[in-house]
Structure 1
C-alpha cells in the first residue's frame, strides 16, 4: 500500500526541504515529494518533530557483532547485515583484509553463491583492502601476504565473485601499480590508494593512472609534511578524488578531520567506519583476520605492536560526530555518509539518495541526529 511520510525535514537528493510529504510506493520504491502546502490523498505516516534522511552507505567495513568478513561464513555475514540497520546503514560493501590468495578466492565465491540473500543492509559489492600494500604501513594488515599488483590474480578473484568485487585499496608505489590501475579501471573497478609509503609524486601518478580515492586518509600512510610531501598531502590537495575518513575521534583527531574536510570539501569526503568484529560488542579480546586484537576505551588495537586495528565505530555516530565537532551542517554530514560513499564506489544508482524509483531505504532521525527508526524497501525494520 502506498503511503506518505510527513516530517519536519527531508534530506532529498539535491536539496533539503522543511516539512512536506514523501511518497513511498507499494513496490518499496520512493515516489514523489510534495510540499507542506500540497498534502496528498492517502495514508499519512506522521513523524512530527523528526527528520528523514537516506539510509547510510558504509563502503569500508570488516565486521561487527563478533562476525568478520574473513571468516567466510554466510550466516555471520547475514548477521552483520541485519545488525547494521541499527547503525543506520542500509547498504554496505563487505571489506576484506590482506590474506592468502586462496582465502580471498573463497570469500569471493561465498558472496557470489549467496548474492541477494542478505536479510538486512544490502550488499552493494565487495571491497578488497589489500593485498597490494607496502609492508612499512601494514597497520593491522598481515605483511606476509603483501605483494606487487597482479592483474591476472585479481581477475581470478573478480571471476570468483561473479562481478561483486568492485573496489580495491592498494599502494601506488609498488612495482607495476600504474599498469594494474589502468587495467582494473577498464574493468570498472574503483581503485583506492592507501597502506602506502608513497611520495606525493607517486600518489599523483596513481591518480593519473585512474585511482579515484584514498583509503582511511591519514591512517596507514606517512603524516602530512611541508618538507617531503607524501600520499597524505596528495589526499589533501588533489582535485576529483574522494577521501575516506574515519571520524571516531581516535583514528583522526577532530582538528585534523576539520582540516581535511575544509581542504577538499564535504562533497569529497566519504565517511567510513573500518569497523571490525568488535563493533556493537563490549570491551575484550577479538580477532581481525588472523591477528589478535584487544578493545578498550573505544579503540581496537593489535595485541602485538599496539597498532589501531580497525574501529568499533557505527556510521550513525560518525555523522553525529562531525556535526558535534562543529565541522559541517547536518545536511553535509548525512551527504558524507550516503551520497558521497555511494557515488565514489559507483553504486549511486542503487543507494545513497532519496529520489523517485530508488529503493525506499531511509532513516528517521531526531534533531540531535540520533537514530529513531530505519526503513528498508519502505518497511520499518529497526526502532531505537
Structure 2
C-alpha cells in the first residue's frame, strides 16, 4: 500500500510531496518515487496522537470499572485523532483503584480503537490544599507496596504515577518506582521550588497539568511552576483556553522549549457528550460553555478537550507552529512515559497509526495499522 500527502510530519522534519509505503500495517519507508498505484490522503499526515492523561470519554469513566467501557473510550478517541493513550485513574480508595486496574488489564488487548499503551495513576499521594477534583479522604504519603500491587494487578501496565513532592518519603519512592519501570509525575502539590527540584533530581520527569493544582510562580518562592520552568522535566499542558491562559502557555513553552511540552486533555467522561450533569469519580460535575466544573465550588474538574483541538488552539494562539504542535501531542508525551519505541512518530518499522488533517487543522481521518478507522 502506498499513500501520498502534501506533507508528512516526521519526528525531525516535514516531507513535501512524498509517498509512504505500508506493508502488513507497518510503515516500510518514504520515497519521492511515484508508485504505480497509491492513495492520496490529503494535505497533512501526522502520527496518531498520544494522550497520556485521560480519565474517560463518551460517558465512560475508567474509575467505574464498567465492563466494556474501555472499548467505548478507545473507539471514541479515534474522532479526536488519538491512536494511543494511557487510561487514567483518580484518587480513590485502594479497593476502587484495584478494581479499575483489574478491568483495564482484562480488556486492553481487545479494544477496537486507540491502543492502550499503559496506565497513569493520578494519585492518591497528593496534597489536600491543591486537591482540585480529587478526593482528599484518600490522600496519603506514597506507599511503594501499593504501587507494587497496582503493577501486578494491572498486568504490568502501570507506567506513570503522580505524587506531591512535599509528602514524606518521596525521593525514596521515586527511585524505587523508576527501578520498576514507572515514570513519576509531580502535581496536586503545594511544594516549594526546592522540594520540587529535589524530586526531579531523584528521578521524577513530568509535571502534571502545569499551572493547574500546584503552587504558583512567585518572585520570592518560585514554587512548582518555577520548578517546572527551571528543570528538564516534561510539562503537561491543558490547552483548552480555560485551564491556562494562552499567554501563560506560551511563556512556559518559551522557558522550556516545545520539545519539553506534552499536550494532554485530562478529559473526563463528558468528553464527546452534550452539556449536562456528569460525575468525575464521586463528584457531581456540570458541563457547559466548554468546561467541566464541580457543582460544589465550581472548580475545574478535568476537561472535555479533544487532543486534536489542543493542536489547533496552540497554532491559532500563535504560540507554536504546526510541526511543533504535532510533536507536543504525539512524540513528546510518548517520550515522557517511554513508549516512543512503539508510537508517537511516523517511522520505518512502526505501526501505520496516523491522522490526516487539512490546512485549517481540521481532522479528516484516522488510521490504525494502515486502515481507515474514522472519517469526518
Give the shorter-chain TM-score range.
over 0.9
State TM-score, norm by structure 2. 0.99
Indicate yes or no: 2:338 matched with 1:346: yes
Identify the residue that residue 69 of structure 1 maps to in structure 2: 62
Say which SS state the counterpart of residue 116 (structure 1) adopts: helix
Match among 25, 29, 54 for residue 32 of structure 1: 29
Identify the residue that residue 40 of structure 2 maps to in structure 1: 46
Q: Aligned equivalents of 1:377 and 1:169: distance in 2?
A: 31
Q: Aligned equivalents of 2:350 and 2:50: distance in 1?
A: 14
Say which SS state the counterpart of residue 38 (structure 2) adopts: strand
Gapped regions of structure 2 (runs ≥ 5):
none
Identify the residue that residue 104 of structure 1 maps to in structure 2: 97
Indicate yes or no: 2:316 matched with 1:319: no
Q: Aligned equivalents of 2:108 and 2:275: distance in 1?
A: 33
Note the alpha carbon deviations across 1:199-220, whole angstroms, 9 max, x for none.
Answer: 0000011011110010000001
Identify the residue that residue 226 of structure 1 maps to in structure 2: 219
Q: Aligned equivalents of 2:78 and 2:227: distance in 1?
A: 34
Identify the residue that residue 255 of structure 2 maps to in structure 1: 263
Q: CA deviation at 1:104?
A: 0.8
Show the 5 A alignment for 1:144-293: 144-239=137-232, 241-293=233-285
Aligned residues: 376
Q: Aligned equivalents of 1:74 and 1:56: distance in 2?
A: 25
Verify the 8 A CA contact 2:70 2:107 in the aligned structure 1.
no
Match among 109, 112, 116 for residue 116 of structure 1: 109
Q: Aligned equivalents of 1:156 and 1:188: distance in 2?
A: 14
Q: CA deviation at 1:24?
A: 1.2
Match among 16, 19, 24 for residue 18 of structure 1: 16
Match among 7, 10, 17 for residue 9 of structure 1: 7
State TM-score, norm by structure 1. 0.97
Moved over 6 A (4+): none
Q: CA RMSD in A?
A: 0.9
Q: CA deviation at 1:13?
A: 2.6
Say which SS state the counterpart of residue 351 (structure 1) adopts: coil
Q: CA deviation at 1:109?
A: 1.3
Show the 5 A alignment for 1:81-92: 81-92=74-85
Q: CA deviation at 1:14?
A: 2.2
Verify the 8 A CA contact 1:34 1:40 in the aligned structure 2.
no
Indicate yes or no: 2:48 matched with 1:55: yes
Q: Aligned equivalents of 1:73 and 1:345: distance in 2?
A: 26
Q: CA deviation at 1:162?
A: 1.2
Say which SS state the counterpart of residue 109 (structure 2) adopts: coil
Q: CA deviation at 1:73?
A: 1.5
Indicate yes or no: 2:356 matched with 1:364: yes
Q: Aligned equivalents of 1:242 and 1:281: distance in 2?
A: 30
Note the alpha carbon deviations across 1:251-281, whole angstroms, 9 max, x for none.
Answer: 0010101000111011000000000011111
Note the alpha carbon deviations across 1:12-45, whole angstroms, 9 max, x for none.
Answer: 13211111101111x101111002xx2134x300
Match among 109, 115, 130 for residue 137 of structure 1: 130
